[in-house]
Amino acid sequence: MGWKAASIIISNVTTVDPEKLLQELGIEQFETIEDEPYDVAVYPEKHQIFIGVYKENLIISSWEITDHSFGKELSTFEQKLSILFPAAEICTIQLHSGVNHWGYSIVKNGEKIRVRCGNAEQGTIIELGEPLLEEQELLSKSEIKDGRRIYHLRDDEPYEEDQVGENFVSSMWARYTGKEFFEDEEMFEFRLSGFKTTKAASVQAGRKQKTKPVVVIKPWWKFW
């Protein structure tokens, strides 16, 4: 598909003050930039943050903010969002087709209920929690062979998990919007408020975790 994405979806949110939200997340040094439609904001540049509401979901796009969601423990941003939106699910998604990087993390009631992440070189890096309803269809078309999960899709050709990772991410998007990520044409029509942090440390500080994640991702797949 050639997709790249780095977003957090916070469910059951109808309105937001973007600048106030950034401050509540501990990001105080930022400047406004041009608002963008989601087809641009979905793949933000380094230090960019885009914030908007889509189908009663708060969307935050940022590589720096999403980058530490794929571990056993909550990232600092996930902790803060759980406090700000206690009734919401908080879902982080990332995609980068260049290395078949894919990942999603879901937090509910302040706890991680599902985390999966992988790429072409390392395979599936982390899998935490029980499979969700949205994963069942793809998982039903898979088998474990020589310790690796292999998928047999429409053409019955075997696919490695990194080759179908984006399909799982697409299904997570549907969990909140009702449509698969790759089929949701409406998402391109909504615009997000744009910001750029004026100092890298203003976001880096917010990423600090009290405990280490279960895996340490190699720096080469950080695309921002």
Residue 220 lies in a domain: no
Residue 99 lies in a domain: yes
**For residue 97, what pLDDT is reported?**
85
**For residue 215, what pLDDT is reported?**
34
Task: Using alpha carbons, select from 66, 23, 69 the residue that is nearest to residue 48.
Answer: 66
- Please give the span between the terminal C-alpha atoms of the chain, in angstroms, as a whole number: 20
Locus of tokens 């994963």: 135
CB count, 10 Å around CB of 175?
17
Residue 107 burial (10 A CB sphere; 0-12, 13-18, 19+): buried
118, amino acid identity:
G
**For residue 65, what pLDDT is reported?**
95
Residue 166 burial (10 A CB sphere; 0-12, 13-18, 19+): buried
How many domains does the chain fold into? 1
The encoded tokens of residue 30 equal 């930022």
56, amino acid identity:
E
Residue 113 lies in a domain: yes
Range(s) of the domain holding residue 170: 4-129+162-212
**For residue 219, what pLDDT is reported?**
32
Give the DSSP letter string of the chain.
---EEEEEEEES-----HHHHHHHTT---EEEEEEEEHHHHTSPPTTEEEEEEETTEEEEE-HHHHTT-SSSSPPHHHHHHHHH-TTSEEEEEEEEGGGTEEEEEEEETTEEEEEEEEETTTEEEEEESPPPGGGHHHHTTEEEETTEEEEE-TT--EEEHHHHHHHHHHHHHHHHHSS-GGG-GGGGG-EEEEEEESSTHHHHHHH--SS--SS---GGG---
Residue 223 lies in a domain: no
Q: Which residues of the chain have pLDDT under 70?
A: 1-2, 199-224
Residue 29 lies in a domain: yes
The whole-model pTM stands at 0.87
**For residue 192, what pLDDT is reported?**
98
Residue 87 lies in a domain: yes
Q: Residue 78 contacts by C-beta under 8 Å, 6 or more apart in sequence?
A: 69, 90, 92, 105, 107
